[in-house]
A and B are shown apart, each in its own frame.
Chain A
Amino acid sequence: MENELKQLIIDTLDLEDISVSDIDSDAPLFNDGLGLDSIDALELGLAIRKKYDVKIDADKDDVVKIFSSVATLAEYIQAARG
């Protein structure tokens, strides 16, 4: 799941020079880590909804926590899918 998510992040966000092994599951996705920004978060949210049919709702969910790393994102998707 984590590797699949990493590939989804790379493909969705056009991170041409980065491979799955370059992304640390526990490293921050935004700012210091991969250096993603708020537009990337929206784009990733859309890709996750398409691929896993899981909706991340900015009003209800703790978006900052969910998107903090690949590990937390995978955990959230798995829990949401049941």
Chain B
Amino acid sequence: MSLDFIVRDWNAWAPGISSRDDWRNRLVRQTFVQSEKASIPARVPKALQRRLSPLGRAVFNAADGCFDSDKSLPIVFSTAHGETNKSLEMLKAMQRGEEVSPTAFSLSVHNAIAGLFSIAYADHQEITVIAPAQDGIAPAFIEALGLLQEQHSEVLMVLYDEPLADFYPSLPFALNAPVTCALAMRVSLSGQGLPLRFSRSSERRDDGEHALQILAFLKFLVADGKALALGNHRHSWEWHKI
């Protein structure tokens, strides 16, 4: 079974990258500027700006570039690790016998950035935050395409992750991208844009987890290749330009 859809528009953020040409060059060379923080879009109310973590800034920056704030859309966020680094900091504070900051706690949960986004953009449509564990970016597509089948005309997808703290073992997993990265896409079943076909594959693959798959998908968007296959031991999926 396969599902066709259209990428109406997309926008992505990683340190030091601001255009699609940049993406084409950087993904080929795999070089990034590590230190840069994403700017906060002007549409975000002042009172909320101080709540945005570096990862939140990346998400807002990517999403703002392909989202018309006058038109509320359902949104599917997807992140393997979310604000895990924030949770680790809190656990360390508890270990030192300190009290945990209520603000840090409220902003560490898996849907924290999504919550801030819905407030900042007054988006009251349904918003989902996928935690795909080892299954990569495909669950976000399944969710978004499901929403399109349910008669929503457009869905905003936002895939994001940041590198995990060294505290967590990287082996035997393949879970860490070299940089923070957020990819936002507006998808629909009709209209102008890049038409794609999404299908299950029986091939057994090892492309790493969510963070690495976002970069692979971005490369697919900007490069000339017609097909992309991604899997992480269990299920594999294919995307074809049609």
* A61 interfacial contact with B, CB 8 Å: no
Closest beta carbon of chain A to B115's beta carbon, Å: 11
Nearest B residue to A42 via CB reads B102
* B70 interfacial contact with A, CB 8 Å: no
**Are the CB atoms of A50 and B103 closer together than 8 Å?**
no
**Are the CB atoms of B47 and A46 closer together than 8 Å?**
no
List CB contacts (< 8 Å) of B90-105 with chain A. Answer: 99, 101-103
* A57 interfacial contact with B, CB 8 Å: no
When A and B form their complex, what is the total count of cross-chain residue pairs whose Cβ atoms lie within 8 Å?
22
Tell me how many residues of A have a C-beta within 8 Å of chain B. 14
Binding site for B on A (CB under 8 A): 13-17, 35, 37, 39-40, 42-43, 46, 49-50
Which one, B46, B99, B102, contacts A39 given CB within 8 A? B102
Which one, A35, A39, A49, contacts B103 given CB within 8 A? A39
Query: In whole angstroms, what is the CA distance A40 to B50 when docked?
Result: 11
Closest beta carbon of chain B to A21's beta carbon, Å: 18
**Are the CB atoms of A46 and B99 closer together than 8 Å?**
yes
Chain B residues closer than 8 Å to A49, beta-carbon distance = 99
Query: In whole angstroms, what is the CA distance A43 to B50 when docked?
Result: 14
**Are the CB atoms of A40 and B103 closer together than 8 Å?**
yes
Query: In whole angstroms, what is the CA distance A39 to B48 when docked?
Result: 12
**Are the CB atoms of A15 and B50 closer together than 8 Å?**
yes
Chain B residues closer than 8 Å to A42, beta-carbon distance = 102-103
Closest beta carbon of chain A to B138's beta carbon, Å: 34
Query: In whole angstroms, what is the CA distance A37 to B101 when docked?
Result: 15
Closest beta carbon of chain A to B118's beta carbon, Å: 15
